[in-house]
Structure 1
Amino acid sequence: MSALATSHHLIFPNNPSLRTKHNNLPTFSTTIPSASSTSSYPINSSNGSLSSLAPLEAILFDIDGTLCDSDPLHYYAFRDMLQEIGFNDGSPIDEEFFINNISGKHNEELCSVLLPGWEFEKAMQFMVDKEALFRRLAAEQLEPISGLNNVCKWVEDLGFKRAAVTNAPRSNAELLISMLKLQDFFEVVVLAEECARPKPFPDPYLKALNALKVSPDHTFVFEDSVSGIKAANGAGMPAVGMATRNPEQMLLDAGASLVIKDYNDPILWKNLQEIAQQKLSL
């Protein structure tokens, strides 16, 4: 396989605290361009409004890349472990390859995407080892998406139901939720590994709706990946795309109802204010 030319940038930090060693893996030393400003792109309605969901009953959250800025850690772990096994003729994967082939996908799917010539059990062990490396990195440094605490407080103050819905394995989900101090925030945590099919199939989101006893007509989702947005839409819910890392147009093309750069985005708070006013007027 040949390395792909980079056209989209995840803008991963070249942070010394992320430079670590895993057995004989090389230290992290990638230099990434500085972040550029990200605007919001509403679609599917004239003003990108979520007001059609009134009365809102619940909000569902993906975890990786949506609650926390974990994609750089996944990228570093995959990059170094794939390089160690000679993937891509020993050249490290780049950001575009990560976005297009890895981000948002379930580990079982990644076995066939990245390691098609391996026996499934061997490929899954590679994924298990990669997740262990990711957790070590996450334990050292994990950043919430900017404005997350404000959104969580808003959700709690207005009494909306909430669930976390993820393709991540249980050990990852538990670690991230714990580090973000959201153990008491989520009423339900749905793991794709406990569903018949992972995202991009709607099964995990349908399970969350059933667990919360809410209607998809009165629920929306925060997601950062193409597979997650497709899963939310497949379950009958609009998705707010989080473009912290993935390209905005990619999320729009996947079906996001509006795209924000983080939880401080003015377009998001315009929508939340409308929802709050509708709730208080009931």
Structure 2
Amino acid sequence: MTTGGMEAVLFDIDGTMCVSDPFHHRAFSELLQTLGYNSGVPITPEFGMAHMAGRSNDQIGRFLFPDWPQHRLDAFFANKEALFARYAAEGLREVAGLTDLCRWAAARGLKLAAVTNAPRANAELMISILGLSDFFQLIVAAADDCDHPKPSPEPYLRALSLLGASPDHTLVFEDSVVGVKAGVAAGVPVIAVAEEAREAKLVGAGASLVIRDYKDDKLWAALDKLDTASAQANGQLEHS
């Protein structure tokens, strides 16, 4: 039995499942300083949010170093991901309430998948550190599995196809404008996880609801409505 006709829940990872931005920022900042990027002035978290959040390494690389050959970009990002993995292992944590939401979904027979612009090894590492690997039937890593990363809908459409789920019976959780646009373009309702300062941008990108974290009362009120709709639908079936 699924909830309110729901079949699946799809999660972005960075910033949506876990608080990873500080570790990405630290890795990028250190490497860019060694290269003398921005005249050696460290990049700010705001720079990272504006130009890196939610984007694939290929997209970030083309922005940072438009003239670099691919082999040099590959070496840069190999170093960056190695640094990120080391720092994440020291303190990566989930967005508050995530494990409870995964348990809620699993108890109702919903399929869970992670859909990310991050490389697969990076994605698997983060989910493993969070201790949530057993909840997820699938990881779609756009960098490895798709021709077009978010904001293209391709990563989400691929996840829906592999899970055998309908966009009308699926929820997407995202934290970036890039990701929200991808989910909306795939025809899936998107719930955004973000602080108040970013709410207007995410609503403008098409988010149906913006929550602070997975303990947010607004989220559980919406999920309670789905539970009620499911119970009513099942009652009608039993009496038909």
Q: Over aligned residue pairs, what C-alpha RMSD do you find?
A: 1.5
Contact 2:11 2:174 in 1 (8 A): yes
Indicate which of 266, 272, 275 corresponds to 2:223.
272
How many Å apart are 1:124 and its aligned residue?
2.3
Secondary structure in structure 1 of the residue aligned to 2:173: strand
CA distance in 1, matches of 2:121, 2:197: 24
CA distance in 1, matches of 2:6, 2:197: 27
CA distance in 1, matches of 2:184, 2:175: 13
Indicate which of 73, 77, 84 corresponds to 1:134.
84
Please name the residue that 2:238 is paired with. Answer: none
Indicate which of 33, 38, 44 corresponds to 1:83.
33
Please name the residue that 1:38 is paired with. Answer: none
Contact 1:224 1:246 in 2 (8 A): no
Contact 1:165 1:205 in 2 (8 A): yes
How many Å apart are 1:268 and its aligned residue?
0.4
CA distance in 2, matches of 1:184, 1:204: 21
CA distance in 1, matches of 2:224, 2:75: 46
Kindly indicate whether residue 150 of structure 2 is the aligned counterpart of residue 190 of structure 1: no
How many Å apart are 1:158 and its aligned residue?
1.2
**Unpaired segments ≥5 residues, structure 2:** 235-240
Indicate which of 120, 136, 141 corresponds to 1:170.
120
Larger helix fraction of residues: 2
Q: Counterparts of 1:1-282 in structure 2 under 5 Å?
A: 54-192=4-142, 193-244=144-195, 247-281=198-232, 282=234
**Alpha-carbon spacing, 1:271–1:162, altered in 2? closer, same or farther (3 Å):** same
Question: CA offsets, 1:237-277, max 9 Å, x none?
Answer: 11111105972222222211111110001110100111111
Question: CA offsets, 1:74-131, max 9 Å, x none?
Answer: 1111112111111111101112211111111100111110011211220221112111
Contact 2:10 2:115 in 1 (8 A): yes
How many Å apart are 1:134 and its aligned residue?
0.4
Q: TM-score, normalised by structure 1?
A: 0.78
Please name the residue that 1:43 is paired with. Answer: none
Residue identity (%): 49
Contact 1:158 1:276 in 2 (8 A): no
Question: CA offsets, 1:46-94, max 9 Å, x none?
Answer: xxxxxxx942211111111111110111111111211111111110111
Contact 2:177 2:201 in 1 (8 A): yes
Q: TM-score, normalised by structure 2?
A: 0.92
**Alpha-carbon spacing, 1:190–1:67, altered in 2? closer, same or farther (3 Å):** same
CA distance in 2, matches of 1:264, 1:183: 21
CA distance in 1, matches of 2:120, 2:138: 13
CA distance in 2, matches of 1:222, 1:214: 16
Secondary structure in structure 1 of the residue aligned to 2:133: coil
CA distance in 1, matches of 2:20, 2:63: 21
**Unpaired segments ≥5 residues, structure 1:** 1-52
Count of residues paired in the alignment: 230
Contact 2:99 2:132 in 1 (8 A): no
CA distance in 2, matches of 1:108, 1:215: 29
